[in-house]
A and B are shown apart, each in its own frame.
Chain A
Amino acid sequence: MIGHSDLAALTVRQIIFHDVPRNPRGSNGQPTLTDTETTTDARRVGILKKRLTQVFGSGAAFEVEFLTTTASPVPPLVHSLTTQTLPSNDFVPASRKMAQYLFEKHMGSTSAGLLCVIAITSGARAGIAIMKLEREEGADLHLKTAGGHSAFEMSVLDNLVLTDGTRLFKSALFLTNATGLDCLACDSQNDPMSRSDAAKFWLAFLGCRFVVDPAISTQRWFDVSVNFINQEVHDPVVKQAMYEHLVSELNSNRQAVSPKRFIQDYVKTDLRQPYEEFLRQNNAPIRQFSKDTGDIQSKLRRLSYHTEEGLAVIVPADKEKLVEVGKAQIVVRDALRTISRK
């Protein structure tokens, strides 16, 4: 488990960057592998730490574990580096192997980028952070005065990384625990849980897989959320709206669910804190998880009955038997709980 205390106490010990270009089929390109660590100062370390916290503390980071069999050199290299005393002489060669493998995994459609490997400690825990950073464009303005006139001169900066605008990026954090390693991964550009090859690319590079079965996470989050709506939301209109959003989120085309994003987008301000606490207390996921609605399909499907006079009756698919449709009438066999007026 990697928590906020680990991220807060994080200390950067060694850092290196390698340039990993695109690798279209038939190309003779090669990555630019550096052979010396990047020297840094407190301010730069501060920026790095901030970005690491933003990404690994976010709802978009998900728990992963190393695959038992994988072609990726990352698992053994991470295991080896996290058991050594820092600074380690193996750090630079290990990072070069990772960058070389990343280049080999690159396809024609994969963006070029810089692979950043960081050896870290957090209290007594040792760790490795890996980030793939894509270069961004920006502009720099200078005020120039000439001939009594002043104007801003603009220059384009096209080698920017880790700007404030890039909050999520391909990254992974491995921290030792009493028995092994805790691992978090994040992937912003592609939906990490998508089944496409492009999306699987980052996890394949890391030699990792998700820790929790997506079907279990999905069912747990749905059930706990429904319980919250039933037990804690008292306004019938709000209750209905939140339920609709919940079902809609699970029926959407997104392959992953971020409970934090759901709270931000759909939960009323005064219910956000109680809802998040309810999820925690009931062991429902807070971090992003891969969506698999296979086990709750019947709860998500709804039947709509529309009458000639414009009435609508919406029924969960698994409660279909409660509605009896006659020639000139519809009978709902259930007790009335509330009436809401919109």
Chain B
Amino acid sequence: MVDLEETRRRWLEERPRFATFGEQLTLRLKEALKEEGCWGEVTTRAKDMDSLIRKLIKKPHHTYDSLGDKCGVRVIVRYKSEVDLVLKLARRVFHCGEPENTAERLDHNKVGYLSTHVDVRLYKNDFLASTFPPEVFCAELQIRSLAQHLWSEMSHDTVYKNDDGLVHLAGPLKRRVFLLAGAIEIADNEFDRLNIEMPHVPEVELLQSLERHYYKLTTHRADIDLSLETIRWLYPIYQIEVPRIRAHLDEVWNDSSVMLQAVYEAAEQDPTGRSAFLLQPEALMIYDLLRRKVWDIRQAWSDQGLPPKELERMANAFGISFDA
């Protein structure tokens, strides 16, 4: 059995550095997700003292040094299919161990906690490797979809989190737990499929296109109902087919991404002055129309009964003046 008093002493001393290490990993993952235009919530946490001690009591084969998850980083993405993308990004920025998908631990007739775990360290040639040597600083990266996260959170403090707890439950109760986990897994699969197979209506196609660029600028989640409604009356202004609008918006992004990043950084520093539409994926479309068809968008905006000040705030943020 590991010397727990020595463990306490070392963790008290080393925990702040592990916490800083976790923050560094978080920053890099956020940046990588942003570059990819993928929304994800990234959080980090260095284990609390009691949690660390409990873990060593439960897993006596581990020592303080061999414990890989003293620091954890969690990424929650919207869709199951995005988990692999995050793993790919993690491999790009960190040295990753062999990923473990908890689904592989479950028999085909079992349901339960699903998540992908992987140990991550800095590459030896990383500029921070001397501060956080890879042989010492390791973190466990957990990647989950929102549905997987729901199950994990709801089951966290319950006896049905794992098979050991379930063994002692009565049959009917056990069945209800399995049904619940199954329902969440089905929902997870369906959300994923729906996103991929969404009917090809113009506003949905355009929103998917716009979101790829939007999440490169910010991690703020948008009001999707408002996005769809706005895109629905904005896209006819282009008077061209949807695939051409999508291609055009990609070009706008390529031409203006540096400027747009500056706009979003400034808006982040002054949340009081920004338009509510800036934190919506259709902001790119609004920018493009303000730039190219300012009279048409102003008319359409007015026809929709939307507050003109909001459009002017958008215009001003993009360096465009309405003043004659």
A contact residues vs B (CB 8 Å cutoff): 3-11, 42-43, 45-47, 49-50, 53-60, 123, 167-168, 258, 260-261, 263-264, 269, 272-273, 276
A-contacting residues, B40-71, CB 8 Å: none
Of the candidates B259, B320, B323, which one forms a contact with A168 in the assembled complex, judged by CB atoms under 8 Å apart? B323
Asked whether B269 lies within 8 Å of A42 as measured between CB atoms, the reply is yes
Query: Are the CB atoms of B319 and A5 closer together than 8 Å?
Result: yes
Check B321 for interface membership: any CB of A closer than 8 A: yes
The 4 closest A-B pairs by CB, nearest first: A57-B321, A7-B319, A8-B319, A58-B323
What is the bound-complex CA distance between A6 and B259, given in angstroms? 8
How far is A272 from B299 in the complex, measured between Cα atoms in Å?
10
Distance (Å) between the CB of A291 and the closest chain B CB?
16
Say which residue of A45, A47, A261, A276 sits within 8 Å of B295 (CB atoms). A276
Chain B residue at minimal CB-CB distance from A10: B319
Partner of A43, one of B259, B272, B323: B272
List B residues 228-273 near A (Cβ within 8 Å): 256, 258-259, 262-263, 266, 269-270, 272-273
Interface centre among B256, B258, B321 (most CB of A within 10 A): B321
| Min CB gap A31→B, angstroms | 29
Residues of A contacting B: mostly = helix
Say whether, besides A123-B258, A273-B296, A4 and B320 are in contact (CB < 8 Å): yes
Evaluate contact between B319 and A4: CB separation under 8 angstroms. Answer: yes
8 Å CB contact of A53 from B256, B270, B319:
B319
| Cβ–Cβ < 8 Å partners of A45 in chain B | 269-270
Which residues from chain B contact A10 at a C-beta distance below 8 Å?
319
Q: Is B316 an interface residue (CB 8 A)?
A: yes
Contact across chains for B269 and A8 when beta carbons are under 8 A apart: no
**Which residues of the other chain, A, contact B295 by a CB distance below 8 angstroms?**
263, 269, 272-273, 276
Map CB proximity to A onto B265-295 as digits: 1 under 8 Å, 0 otherwise. 0100110110000000000000000010111
The answer to whether B266 and A46 have CB atoms under 8 Å apart is yes
For B191, list chain A residues within 8 Å (CB): none
Q: Is the CB of A4 within 8 A of B324?
A: no
Query: A2 CA to B134 CA in the complex, in Å?
Result: 49
Identify the closest chain A residue to B262 (Cβ). A9
A53 with B321, Cβ < 8 A, contacts A9-B262, A123-B258 known: yes
- Chain B residues closer than 8 Å to A59, beta-carbon distance: 323-324
Q: Are B324 and A260 in contact (CB under 8 A)?
A: yes
Q: Majority SS of interface residues in chain B?
A: helix
CB proximity of A254 to chain B, nearest CB, Å: 13
B291 touches A60 (CB 8 A): no
User: Out of B266, B293, B323, which one reaches A54, CB within 8 Å?
Assistant: B323
- Residues on A with C-beta less than 8 A from B272 are 43, 46
Q: Does B318 sit at the interface, judged by CB under 8 A?
A: yes
Let me know if A53 and B324 touch, CB within 8 A.
Answer: no
Among candidates B296, B299, B319, residue contacting A6 with C-beta atoms closer than 8 Å: B319
Distance between Cα atoms of A264 and B323 in the complex (Å):
10
Residues on A with C-beta less than 8 A from B291 are: 4
- Which residue, B293, B296, B316, has most C-beta atoms of chain A within 10 A? B316
Closest residue of chain B to A2, judged by CB? B319
Measured CB to CB, the nearest residue on chain A to B263 is: A8
Q: Which residues of A contact B269 (CB under 8 A)?
A: 42, 45-46
Q: Does B206 contact A (CB under 8 A)?
A: no
Contact B270 A46 (CB under 8 A): yes
Number of contacting residues on B, CB 8 A? 25
Asked whether A58 and B324 contact (CB < 8 A) given A43-B270, A47-B273, A276-B295, the answer is yes
Minimal Cβ-Cβ distance residue in B for A4: B319
With contacts A6-B319, A57-B321 taken as known, whether A50 is within 8 angstroms of B293 at the C-beta atoms is no
Beyond the given pairs A43-B270, A261-B324, 4 more chain A to chain B contacts, judged by CB atoms under 8 angstroms and listed by A's residue number, are A7-B319, A46-B269, A46-B270, A269-B299
Beta-carbon contact of A9 and B259 below 8 Å: yes
CA distance A56 to B319 in the complex (A): 9
| Residues on B with beta carbons closer than 8 Å to the beta carbon of A46 | 266, 269-270, 272-273
Task: Give Cα A167 to B322, complex, Å.
Answer: 10
Which residue on chain B has the smallest CB distance to residue A5?
B259
Q: Are A55 and B259 in contact, with the CB atoms below 8 A?
A: no
Closest A residue to B237 using CB positions: A273
* Complex interface: chain B residues within 8 A of A168 (CB): 323
B317 in the interface (beta carbon within 8 A)? yes
What is the CA–CA distance of A264 and B322 in the complex, to the nearest angstrom? 10
Query: Closest chain B residue to A50 by CB distance?
Result: B316
| Cβ-neighbour of A55 out of B256, B262, B273, B321 (below 8 A) | B321
For B296, the chain A residues whose CB sits under 8 A away are 272-273
16 A-B Cβ contacts within 8 A? Answer: A5-B259, A8-B263, A8-B318, A8-B319, A46-B270, A46-B272, A47-B273, A50-B273, A53-B316, A53-B320, A55-B321, A57-B320, A57-B323, A58-B321, A58-B323, A276-B294
Provide the bound-state CA to CA distance between A269 and B291, in Å. 17
Interchain CA distance A56-B323 in the complex, whole Å: 9
The CA-CA distance from A272 to B292 in the complex, in Å, is: 12
B319 and A42 within 8 A (CB): no
- Residues of A with C-beta under 8 A to B322: 54, 58
Specify the chain B residue showing the minimal Cβ separation from A274.
Answer: B295
* A residues near B263, Cβ cutoff 8 Å: 8-9
Decide if A54 touches B319 in the complex (CB within 8 Å): no
Task: Encode contact with A along B287-310: 1 for CB under 8 Å, 0 otherwise.
Answer: 000010111100100000000000
Contact B273 A57 (CB under 8 A): no
Report yes or no: A8 in contact with B317, Cβ–Cβ below 8 A. Answer: yes
- CA of A6 to CA of B320, assembled, Å: 10
CB–CB B319/A60 < 8 A: no
A6 to B256, CA, bound (A): 11
Chain B minimum-CB-distance residue to A58:
B323
Tell me the minimal C-beta distance from B200 to chain A in angstroms: 29
A5 to B269, CA, bound (A): 19
Bound Cα distance A10, B87 (Å): 37
